[in-house]
Structure 1
Amino acid sequence: MIEISQRLQRIGDRVEHGSRVADIGSDHAYLPTYLIQQGIAASCIAGEVNKGPWQSAARQIQSAGLTDRIEARLGDGLAVLEPGEVDVVCISGMGGSLIASILGAGEAKLVGVRQLILQPNVAAPLVRRWLMEHGWQLVAEDILEEDGIIYEILEARPGDPMLPYEDSTRTPADLVEIGPHLWHKKSPVLHKKWSLECAKLRMVLDQMTKAKSAEAESRREEMEKRLNWMEEMLACMQTDSV
Protein backbone atom coordinates (compact mmCIF):
# COMPACT_ATOMS: atom_id res chain seq x y z
CA MET A 1 0.00 0.00 0.00
CA ILE A 2 1.26 3.44 -0.89
CA GLU A 3 2.15 5.96 1.81
CA ILE A 4 1.22 9.54 0.93
CA SER A 5 1.45 12.94 2.57
CA GLN A 6 -1.18 14.11 5.04
CA ARG A 7 -2.17 16.78 2.49
CA LEU A 8 -2.93 14.21 -0.21
CA GLN A 9 -4.65 11.91 2.26
CA ARG A 10 -6.99 14.72 3.38
CA ILE A 11 -7.82 15.35 -0.28
CA GLY A 12 -8.33 11.67 -1.05
CA ASP A 13 -10.55 11.04 1.96
CA ARG A 14 -12.98 13.71 0.71
CA VAL A 15 -13.54 11.92 -2.60
CA GLU A 16 -17.00 10.44 -3.03
CA HIS A 17 -16.84 6.65 -2.74
CA GLY A 18 -17.31 4.64 -5.91
CA SER A 19 -16.67 7.63 -8.16
CA ARG A 20 -14.63 8.04 -11.33
CA VAL A 21 -11.87 10.52 -10.51
CA ALA A 22 -9.59 12.80 -12.52
CA ASP A 23 -6.46 14.04 -10.76
CA ILE A 24 -5.20 17.00 -12.78
CA GLY A 25 -1.50 17.75 -12.32
CA SER A 26 -1.10 14.28 -10.84
CA ASP A 27 2.71 14.27 -10.86
CA HIS A 28 3.61 10.73 -9.66
CA ALA A 29 -0.03 9.55 -9.55
CA TYR A 30 0.23 9.07 -5.79
CA LEU A 31 -3.32 10.30 -5.16
CA PRO A 32 -4.96 8.01 -7.77
CA THR A 33 -2.95 5.07 -6.44
CA TYR A 34 -4.17 5.82 -2.90
CA LEU A 35 -7.78 6.20 -4.06
CA ILE A 36 -7.80 2.80 -5.76
CA GLN A 37 -5.85 0.94 -3.07
CA GLN A 38 -8.17 2.29 -0.36
CA GLY A 39 -11.28 1.29 -2.33
CA ILE A 40 -12.44 4.90 -2.56
CA ALA A 41 -12.52 5.39 -6.35
CA ALA A 42 -13.80 3.05 -9.03
CA SER A 43 -11.30 4.35 -11.58
CA CYS A 44 -8.89 7.24 -12.03
CA ILE A 45 -7.33 9.38 -14.71
CA ALA A 46 -3.98 10.96 -13.88
CA GLY A 47 -3.52 14.05 -16.05
CA GLU A 48 -0.16 15.74 -16.61
CA VAL A 49 0.84 18.58 -18.93
CA ASN A 50 4.57 17.79 -18.90
CA LYS A 51 6.12 14.64 -20.34
CA GLY A 52 8.46 13.92 -17.40
CA PRO A 53 5.77 13.85 -14.69
CA TRP A 54 3.44 11.98 -17.06
CA GLN A 55 6.08 9.26 -17.48
CA SER A 56 6.58 9.18 -13.68
CA ALA A 57 2.83 8.73 -13.22
CA ALA A 58 2.75 5.89 -15.77
CA ARG A 59 5.63 4.13 -13.99
CA GLN A 60 3.94 4.48 -10.60
CA ILE A 61 0.67 3.07 -11.96
CA GLN A 62 2.49 0.12 -13.54
CA SER A 63 4.57 -0.63 -10.43
CA ALA A 64 1.39 -0.63 -8.31
CA GLY A 65 -0.23 -3.07 -10.73
CA LEU A 66 -3.13 -0.73 -11.38
CA THR A 67 -3.00 -0.18 -15.15
CA ASP A 68 -6.53 -1.58 -15.42
CA ARG A 69 -7.91 1.05 -12.99
CA ILE A 70 -5.74 4.14 -13.52
CA GLU A 71 -4.80 5.76 -16.82
CA ALA A 72 -2.05 8.37 -17.19
CA ARG A 73 -2.85 10.97 -19.86
CA LEU A 74 -0.65 13.70 -21.29
CA GLY A 75 -2.43 17.00 -21.89
CA ASP A 76 -3.16 20.51 -20.65
CA GLY A 77 -5.55 20.70 -17.69
CA LEU A 78 -9.03 19.34 -18.32
CA ALA A 79 -8.22 18.75 -21.99
CA VAL A 80 -7.29 15.18 -21.00
CA LEU A 81 -10.96 14.48 -20.26
CA GLU A 82 -14.06 13.81 -22.32
CA PRO A 83 -17.36 15.36 -21.12
CA GLY A 84 -19.16 13.00 -18.71
CA GLU A 85 -16.09 10.81 -18.23
CA VAL A 86 -15.56 11.48 -14.52
CA ASP A 87 -17.61 12.31 -11.43
CA VAL A 88 -14.89 14.00 -9.37
CA VAL A 89 -12.07 16.36 -10.35
CA CYS A 90 -9.11 16.95 -8.03
CA ILE A 91 -6.59 19.73 -8.68
CA SER A 92 -3.90 20.28 -6.08
CA GLY A 93 -0.40 21.57 -5.49
CA MET A 94 -0.52 24.66 -7.69
CA GLY A 95 -1.43 28.32 -7.36
CA GLY A 96 -5.01 29.50 -7.10
CA SER A 97 -4.71 31.56 -10.27
CA LEU A 98 -3.65 28.49 -12.25
CA ILE A 99 -6.41 26.34 -10.76
CA ALA A 100 -9.03 28.96 -11.69
CA SER A 101 -7.54 29.19 -15.19
CA ILE A 102 -7.67 25.39 -15.63
CA LEU A 103 -11.31 25.29 -14.49
CA GLY A 104 -12.25 28.17 -16.76
CA ALA A 105 -10.49 26.81 -19.84
CA GLY A 106 -12.04 23.38 -19.38
CA GLU A 107 -15.45 24.33 -18.03
CA ALA A 108 -17.25 22.33 -20.72
CA LYS A 109 -15.58 19.18 -19.35
CA LEU A 110 -17.18 19.78 -15.93
CA VAL A 111 -20.68 18.89 -17.16
CA GLY A 112 -21.80 15.94 -15.05
CA VAL A 113 -19.04 16.39 -12.48
CA ARG A 114 -20.49 16.10 -8.97
CA GLN A 115 -17.51 17.15 -6.87
CA LEU A 116 -14.47 19.40 -7.15
CA ILE A 117 -11.65 19.04 -4.62
CA LEU A 118 -9.15 21.86 -4.98
CA GLN A 119 -5.98 22.59 -3.02
CA PRO A 120 -4.38 25.90 -4.00
CA ASN A 121 -0.90 26.49 -2.59
CA VAL A 122 -1.53 30.26 -2.70
CA ALA A 123 -4.36 32.62 -3.69
CA ALA A 124 -7.26 30.47 -2.45
CA PRO A 125 -9.63 33.50 -2.71
CA LEU A 126 -9.26 33.40 -6.52
CA VAL A 127 -10.54 29.81 -6.48
CA ARG A 128 -13.45 30.67 -4.17
CA ARG A 129 -14.38 33.57 -6.43
CA TRP A 130 -14.30 31.35 -9.53
CA LEU A 131 -16.57 28.80 -7.85
CA MET A 132 -18.97 31.54 -6.76
CA GLU A 133 -19.17 33.00 -10.26
CA HIS A 134 -19.67 29.65 -12.03
CA GLY A 135 -22.45 27.97 -10.06
CA TRP A 136 -20.38 25.84 -7.67
CA GLN A 137 -21.27 25.76 -3.99
CA LEU A 138 -18.39 25.56 -1.56
CA VAL A 139 -19.60 22.78 0.75
CA ALA A 140 -16.54 22.21 2.94
CA GLU A 141 -13.04 23.49 3.64
CA ASP A 142 -10.06 22.13 5.49
CA ILE A 143 -6.79 23.69 6.60
CA LEU A 144 -3.68 21.87 7.78
CA GLU A 145 0.00 22.42 8.41
CA GLU A 146 2.52 19.88 7.16
CA ASP A 147 6.30 20.28 7.13
CA GLY A 148 5.95 23.95 8.01
CA ILE A 149 3.57 24.73 5.13
CA ILE A 150 -0.10 25.62 5.57
CA TYR A 151 -2.53 24.20 3.02
CA GLU A 152 -6.20 24.94 2.35
CA ILE A 153 -8.48 22.33 0.76
CA LEU A 154 -11.77 23.38 -0.87
CA GLU A 155 -14.64 21.03 -1.72
CA ALA A 156 -17.39 22.22 -4.07
CA ARG A 157 -20.51 20.75 -5.65
CA PRO A 158 -23.12 22.15 -8.06
CA GLY A 159 -25.57 24.22 -6.03
CA ASP A 160 -26.21 27.69 -4.63
CA PRO A 161 -22.82 29.45 -4.82
CA MET A 162 -23.86 32.26 -2.44
CA LEU A 163 -25.19 30.02 0.35
CA PRO A 164 -21.85 29.64 2.23
CA TYR A 165 -21.41 33.41 2.29
CA GLU A 166 -24.72 34.23 4.01
CA ASP A 167 -23.23 35.22 7.36
CA SER A 168 -24.56 38.15 9.37
CA THR A 169 -21.21 38.77 11.08
CA ARG A 170 -18.97 39.10 8.02
CA THR A 171 -19.37 40.32 4.45
CA PRO A 172 -19.11 37.93 1.48
CA ALA A 173 -15.86 39.71 0.53
CA ASP A 174 -14.39 38.89 3.95
CA LEU A 175 -15.45 35.26 3.70
CA VAL A 176 -14.05 34.86 0.19
CA GLU A 177 -10.69 35.93 1.59
CA ILE A 178 -10.73 33.73 4.69
CA GLY A 179 -13.01 30.89 3.66
CA PRO A 180 -16.58 30.73 4.99
CA HIS A 181 -16.26 27.23 6.47
CA LEU A 182 -12.81 27.96 7.86
CA TRP A 183 -14.19 31.12 9.45
CA HIS A 184 -16.86 29.17 11.31
CA LYS A 185 -14.34 26.58 12.55
CA LYS A 186 -11.64 29.15 13.49
CA SER A 187 -8.98 26.51 13.96
CA PRO A 188 -5.55 27.31 15.46
CA VAL A 189 -4.02 26.67 12.02
CA LEU A 190 -6.23 29.35 10.47
CA HIS A 191 -5.20 31.79 13.19
CA LYS A 192 -1.54 30.92 12.60
CA LYS A 193 -1.88 31.46 8.86
CA TRP A 194 -3.29 34.96 9.25
CA SER A 195 -0.84 35.83 12.02
CA LEU A 196 1.99 34.97 9.63
CA GLU A 197 0.35 37.02 6.86
CA CYS A 198 0.16 40.01 9.22
CA ALA A 199 3.81 39.63 10.17
CA LYS A 200 4.87 39.55 6.49
CA LEU A 201 2.84 42.64 5.70
CA ARG A 202 4.25 44.54 8.67
CA MET A 203 7.79 43.78 7.46
CA VAL A 204 6.98 45.07 3.98
CA LEU A 205 5.46 48.25 5.44
CA ASP A 206 8.54 48.79 7.59
CA GLN A 207 10.72 48.54 4.50
CA MET A 208 8.54 51.07 2.67
CA THR A 209 8.88 53.85 5.25
CA LYS A 210 11.73 55.55 3.36
CA ALA A 211 9.89 55.64 0.02
CA LYS A 212 8.51 59.14 -0.61
CA SER A 213 6.91 58.98 -4.06
CA ALA A 214 3.15 59.46 -4.51
CA GLU A 215 2.90 55.95 -5.92
CA ALA A 216 4.67 54.49 -2.88
CA GLU A 217 2.44 56.48 -0.53
CA SER A 218 -0.69 55.21 -2.28
CA ARG A 219 0.59 51.64 -2.13
CA ARG A 220 1.44 52.04 1.55
CA GLU A 221 -2.08 53.28 2.33
CA GLU A 222 -3.57 50.24 0.57
CA MET A 223 -1.32 47.90 2.53
CA GLU A 224 -2.15 49.61 5.83
CA LYS A 225 -5.86 49.12 5.13
CA ARG A 226 -5.16 45.46 4.38
CA LEU A 227 -3.20 45.08 7.61
CA ASN A 228 -5.97 46.71 9.65
CA TRP A 229 -8.46 44.30 8.10
CA MET A 230 -6.27 41.30 8.91
CA GLU A 231 -5.82 42.44 12.50
CA GLU A 232 -9.59 42.84 12.88
CA MET A 233 -10.15 39.30 11.56
CA LEU A 234 -7.55 37.92 13.96
CA ALA A 235 -9.15 39.74 16.89
CA CYS A 236 -12.54 38.23 15.98
CA MET A 237 -11.01 34.74 15.78
CA GLN A 238 -9.53 35.12 19.27
CA THR A 239 -12.73 36.55 20.75
CA ASP A 240 -14.93 33.85 19.27
CA SER A 241 -12.63 31.04 20.43
CA VAL A 242 -12.56 32.19 24.07
Structure 2
Amino acid sequence: MNLSERLLHIANMIPESNCIADIGTDHGYIPIYCIRNNICKRAIACDIKEGPIKVANKNIKSYGLNTKIETRVGPGLKPLKEGEVDTVIIAGMGGNLIVDIINDSIDLAQQINNMVLQPMQHPEVLRKYLVCNGFKIVDEDIVEDSKKFYHIMRAHIGESDKYEKEVYYYTGMKLLEKRHPVLKNYVEFKISQIENIIYNSNKGETSERHNYLIKLRDEFKDVIRCL
Protein backbone atom coordinates (compact mmCIF):
# COMPACT_ATOMS: atom_id res chain seq x y z
CA MET A 1 0.00 0.00 0.00
CA ASN A 2 1.39 3.38 -1.05
CA LEU A 3 0.36 6.12 1.37
CA SER A 4 0.50 9.83 0.63
CA GLU A 5 3.32 11.77 2.29
CA ARG A 6 0.87 13.10 4.86
CA LEU A 7 -0.51 9.68 5.80
CA LEU A 8 2.95 8.10 5.81
CA HIS A 9 4.25 10.67 8.30
CA ILE A 10 1.17 10.12 10.47
CA ALA A 11 1.79 6.37 10.43
CA ASN A 12 5.44 6.90 11.35
CA MET A 13 4.34 8.85 14.44
CA ILE A 14 2.27 5.92 15.76
CA PRO A 15 4.10 3.94 18.47
CA GLU A 16 3.97 0.15 18.61
CA SER A 17 0.54 -0.61 20.06
CA ASN A 18 -1.73 -3.47 20.96
CA CYS A 19 -4.83 -1.77 19.52
CA ILE A 20 -5.22 1.54 17.70
CA ALA A 21 -8.35 3.50 16.81
CA ASP A 22 -8.47 5.68 13.70
CA ILE A 23 -11.07 8.42 14.11
CA GLY A 24 -12.45 9.70 10.81
CA THR A 25 -10.87 6.72 9.07
CA ASP A 26 -12.29 7.51 5.62
CA HIS A 27 -10.79 4.73 3.43
CA GLY A 28 -9.25 2.82 6.34
CA TYR A 29 -5.73 3.26 4.99
CA ILE A 30 -4.03 4.00 8.33
CA PRO A 31 -5.36 0.87 10.13
CA ILE A 32 -4.53 -1.32 7.13
CA TYR A 33 -1.00 0.08 6.92
CA CYS A 34 -0.42 -0.31 10.66
CA ILE A 35 -1.54 -3.95 10.72
CA ARG A 36 0.48 -4.86 7.63
CA ASN A 37 3.60 -3.19 9.03
CA ASN A 38 3.29 -4.70 12.53
CA ILE A 39 2.71 -1.35 14.21
CA CYS A 40 -0.33 -2.78 15.98
CA LYS A 41 -2.03 -6.14 16.51
CA ARG A 42 -5.61 -4.92 16.19
CA ALA A 43 -7.35 -1.78 14.97
CA ILE A 44 -10.72 -0.06 15.13
CA ALA A 45 -11.66 2.17 12.20
CA CYS A 46 -14.30 4.76 13.11
CA ASP A 47 -16.22 7.31 11.10
CA ILE A 48 -19.29 9.41 11.71
CA LYS A 49 -20.80 8.41 8.34
CA GLU A 50 -21.80 5.05 6.89
CA GLY A 51 -20.35 5.85 3.44
CA PRO A 52 -16.67 5.98 4.43
CA ILE A 53 -17.12 2.88 6.60
CA LYS A 54 -18.46 0.95 3.60
CA VAL A 55 -15.38 1.99 1.61
CA ALA A 56 -13.11 1.08 4.53
CA ASN A 57 -14.78 -2.34 4.86
CA LYS A 58 -14.18 -3.00 1.17
CA ASN A 59 -10.49 -2.08 1.48
CA ILE A 60 -10.07 -4.10 4.68
CA LYS A 61 -11.62 -7.14 3.01
CA SER A 62 -9.38 -6.77 -0.05
CA TYR A 63 -6.32 -7.11 2.21
CA GLY A 64 -7.83 -10.02 4.15
CA LEU A 65 -7.79 -8.14 7.46
CA ASN A 66 -11.43 -8.57 8.54
CA THR A 67 -10.42 -10.40 11.72
CA LYS A 68 -7.92 -7.74 12.76
CA ILE A 69 -9.69 -4.48 11.87
CA GLU A 70 -13.15 -3.69 13.20
CA THR A 71 -15.23 -0.80 11.85
CA ARG A 72 -17.65 1.32 13.87
CA VAL A 73 -19.95 4.23 13.04
CA GLY A 74 -20.20 7.13 15.46
CA PRO A 75 -18.95 10.64 16.30
CA GLY A 76 -15.45 11.25 17.61
CA LEU A 77 -14.31 8.94 20.40
CA LYS A 78 -17.87 7.92 21.29
CA PRO A 79 -17.68 4.48 19.56
CA LEU A 80 -14.78 3.46 21.82
CA LYS A 81 -14.92 1.77 25.21
CA GLU A 82 -12.58 2.56 28.08
CA GLY A 83 -9.38 0.55 28.04
CA GLU A 84 -9.77 -1.11 24.64
CA VAL A 85 -7.25 1.01 22.72
CA ASP A 86 -3.84 2.35 23.66
CA THR A 87 -3.36 4.69 20.70
CA VAL A 88 -5.86 6.96 18.95
CA ILE A 89 -5.31 8.72 15.63
CA ILE A 90 -7.38 11.82 14.87
CA ALA A 91 -6.28 13.22 11.52
CA GLY A 92 -7.52 15.04 8.46
CA MET A 93 -9.83 17.54 10.18
CA GLY A 94 -9.51 21.05 11.58
CA GLY A 95 -7.75 21.83 14.83
CA ASN A 96 -10.95 23.20 16.37
CA LEU A 97 -12.84 20.01 15.57
CA ILE A 98 -10.09 17.84 17.05
CA VAL A 99 -10.29 19.94 20.23
CA ASP A 100 -14.06 19.37 20.34
CA ILE A 101 -13.63 15.61 19.86
CA ILE A 102 -11.14 15.35 22.73
CA ASN A 103 -13.18 17.64 24.96
CA ASP A 104 -16.41 15.73 24.33
CA SER A 105 -14.77 12.51 25.58
CA ILE A 106 -12.20 13.98 27.96
CA ASP A 107 -12.32 11.12 30.49
CA LEU A 108 -11.53 8.58 27.78
CA ALA A 109 -8.89 10.81 26.16
CA GLN A 110 -7.05 11.13 29.46
CA GLN A 111 -6.77 7.34 29.73
CA ILE A 112 -5.29 6.79 26.25
CA ASN A 113 -1.54 6.17 26.17
CA ASN A 114 -0.96 8.11 22.97
CA MET A 115 -2.98 10.42 20.75
CA VAL A 116 -1.56 11.04 17.27
CA LEU A 117 -3.15 14.24 15.99
CA GLN A 118 -2.95 15.88 12.57
CA PRO A 119 -4.96 19.07 12.14
CA MET A 120 -5.58 20.31 8.60
CA GLN A 121 -5.95 23.89 9.86
CA HIS A 122 -5.21 25.80 13.05
CA PRO A 123 -2.49 23.64 14.64
CA GLU A 124 -1.94 26.52 17.08
CA VAL A 125 -5.47 26.08 18.48
CA LEU A 126 -4.87 22.38 19.10
CA ARG A 127 -1.43 22.90 20.68
CA LYS A 128 -2.75 25.59 23.02
CA TYR A 129 -5.65 23.37 24.07
CA LEU A 130 -3.37 20.42 24.81
CA VAL A 131 -0.78 22.43 26.73
CA CYS A 132 -3.40 24.31 28.77
CA ASN A 133 -5.60 21.29 29.56
CA GLY A 134 -3.35 18.70 31.14
CA PHE A 135 -1.80 17.07 28.07
CA LYS A 136 1.86 16.87 27.11
CA ILE A 137 3.10 16.99 23.51
CA VAL A 138 5.91 14.44 23.35
CA ASP A 139 6.77 14.49 19.64
CA GLU A 140 6.01 16.51 16.53
CA ASP A 141 6.53 16.36 12.79
CA ILE A 142 5.64 18.65 9.89
CA VAL A 143 5.15 17.75 6.24
CA GLU A 144 5.12 20.01 3.20
CA ASP A 145 3.10 18.46 0.41
CA SER A 146 1.64 20.23 -2.65
CA LYS A 147 2.41 23.65 -1.13
CA LYS A 148 0.53 22.84 2.07
CA PHE A 149 1.90 22.26 5.56
CA TYR A 150 0.64 19.47 7.79
CA HIS A 151 1.51 19.40 11.50
CA ILE A 152 1.55 16.05 13.28
CA MET A 153 1.81 15.70 17.04
CA ARG A 154 1.79 12.90 19.58
CA ALA A 155 0.41 13.70 23.01
CA HIS A 156 -0.75 12.07 26.22
CA ILE A 157 -1.82 13.08 29.69
CA GLY A 158 0.90 15.00 31.51
CA GLU A 159 1.89 18.37 32.88
CA SER A 160 3.11 21.08 30.50
CA ASP A 161 4.13 24.67 31.08
CA LYS A 162 2.32 27.25 28.99
CA TYR A 163 4.48 28.50 26.14
CA GLU A 164 6.29 31.80 26.70
CA LYS A 165 5.39 33.21 23.27
CA GLU A 166 2.27 32.91 21.14
CA VAL A 167 4.35 31.94 18.11
CA TYR A 168 5.40 28.67 19.76
CA TYR A 169 1.83 27.39 19.51
CA TYR A 170 2.22 27.80 15.74
CA THR A 171 5.71 26.34 15.39
CA GLY A 172 5.60 23.67 18.07
CA MET A 173 8.34 23.37 20.68
CA LYS A 174 9.46 19.92 19.53
CA LEU A 175 9.85 21.12 15.94
CA LEU A 176 11.97 24.02 17.17
CA GLU A 177 14.12 21.72 19.29
CA LYS A 178 14.70 19.49 16.26
CA ARG A 179 15.26 22.47 13.97
CA HIS A 180 13.03 20.53 11.61
CA PRO A 181 14.11 21.13 7.99
CA VAL A 182 10.54 21.97 6.88
CA LEU A 183 9.94 24.43 9.71
CA LYS A 184 11.82 27.30 8.05
CA ASN A 185 9.57 27.05 4.98
CA TYR A 186 6.50 27.09 7.22
CA VAL A 187 7.72 30.13 9.18
CA GLU A 188 8.49 32.03 5.96
CA PHE A 189 5.01 31.16 4.68
CA LYS A 190 3.38 32.43 7.88
CA ILE A 191 5.36 35.70 7.81
CA SER A 192 4.25 36.33 4.23
CA GLN A 193 0.65 35.40 5.05
CA ILE A 194 0.49 37.70 8.08
CA GLU A 195 2.14 40.59 6.23
CA ASN A 196 -0.45 40.29 3.46
CA ILE A 197 -3.25 40.44 6.03
CA ILE A 198 -1.68 43.50 7.67
CA TYR A 199 -1.12 45.22 4.31
CA ASN A 200 -4.70 44.64 3.16
CA SER A 201 -6.24 45.76 6.44
CA ASN A 202 -7.27 49.32 7.22
CA LYS A 203 -4.01 51.29 7.45
CA GLY A 204 -5.35 53.35 10.33
CA GLU A 205 -6.58 50.32 12.20
CA THR A 206 -5.30 50.05 15.77
CA SER A 207 -7.53 47.21 16.84
CA GLU A 208 -6.46 44.46 19.18
CA ARG A 209 -6.42 42.03 16.25
CA HIS A 210 -4.13 44.29 14.19
CA ASN A 211 -1.68 44.68 17.06
CA TYR A 212 -1.78 40.93 17.68
CA LEU A 213 -0.81 40.24 14.06
CA ILE A 214 2.10 42.69 14.16
CA LYS A 215 3.42 41.13 17.37
CA LEU A 216 2.97 37.62 15.98
CA ARG A 217 4.78 38.51 12.75
CA ASP A 218 7.71 39.88 14.74
CA GLU A 219 7.82 36.70 16.84
CA PHE A 220 7.94 34.61 13.65
CA LYS A 221 10.85 36.76 12.45
CA ASP A 222 12.67 36.09 15.72
CA VAL A 223 12.12 32.36 15.23
CA ILE A 224 13.52 32.31 11.71
CA ARG A 225 16.78 33.82 12.94
CA CYS A 226 17.27 30.70 15.06
CA LEU A 227 16.65 28.18 12.27
Provide the TM-score with structure 1 as the length reference: 0.86
Of 201, 205, 209, the match for 2:198: 205
Spell out the pairing of 1:116-155 with structure 2 (5 A cutoff).
Answer: 116-155=115-154
Tell me the distance in 2 between the aligned counterparts of 1:61 and 1:111: 29
Matched AA of 1:182: L
Give the match for residue 15 of structure 1: 14
More off after superposition, 23-32 vs 108-117: 108-117
1:73 and 2:63 correspond: no
Equivalent residues of 1:84, 1:110 under 8 A apart: no
Equivalent residues of 1:84, 1:111 under 8 A apart: no
Structure 2: tracts of 5 or more residues without a match: none
1:82 and 2:71 correspond: no
More off after superposition, 129-138 vs 60-69: 129-138
Q: What do the CA deviations read for 1:71-126 (whole angstroms, capped 9, x no partner)?
A: 11110000110111100001111111111110110122235311111111121122
Tell me the distance in 2 between the aligned counterparts of 1:24 and 1:88: 11
- Following superposition, the deviation at residue 27 of structure 1 comes to 0.5
SS of the residue corresponding to residue 8 of structure 2 reads helix
User: Deviation above 4 Å: which 4+ runs of structure 1?
Assistant: none
Tell me the distance in 2 between the aligned counterparts of 1:130 and 1:221: 23
Give the match for residue 26 of structure 1: 25
Give the match for residue 97 of structure 2: 98
SS of the residue corresponding to residue 44 of structure 1 reads strand
User: Residue 32 and residue 100 in structure 1: after superposition, are their counterparts in 2 closer, same or farther (change >3 A)?
Assistant: same
Give the match for residue 206 of structure 2: 217
SS of the residue corresponding to residue 137 of structure 1 reads strand
1:177 and 2:166 correspond: no
User: Residue 111 and residue 221 in structure 1: after superposition, are their counterparts in 2 closer, same or farther (change >3 A)?
Assistant: closer
Larger relative contact order (C-alpha < 8 A, sep ≥ 6)?
Answer: 2
Give me the identity figure in percent: 31
Tell me the distance in 2 between the aligned counterparts of 1:142 and 1:47: 24
Matched AA of 2:112: V
- Following superposition, the deviation at residue 225 of structure 1 comes to 2.3
Aligned residues: CA RMSD? 1.9
Of 179, 188, 191, the match for 1:195: 188
SS of the residue corresponding to residue 54 of structure 1 reads helix
- Following superposition, the deviation at residue 13 of structure 1 comes to 2.3
Structure 1: tracts of 5 or more residues without a match: 238-242
Equivalent residues of 2:166, 2:216 under 8 A apart: no
Larger radius of gyration: 1
More off after superposition, 105-114 vs 22-31: 105-114
Provide the TM-score with structure 2 as the length reference: 0.91
Aligned length: 226
Tell me the distance in 2 between the aligned counterparts of 1:9 and 1:34: 9
Spell out the pairing of 1:147-166 with structure 2 (5 A cutoff).
Answer: 147-162=146-161
- Following superposition, the deviation at residue 172 of structure 1 comes to 5.5
Matched AA of 1:116: M
SS of the residue corresponding to residue 76 of structure 1 reads coil
Q: Which has the higher helix share?
A: 1
Tell me the distance in 1 between the aligned counterparts of 2:191 and 2:138: 28
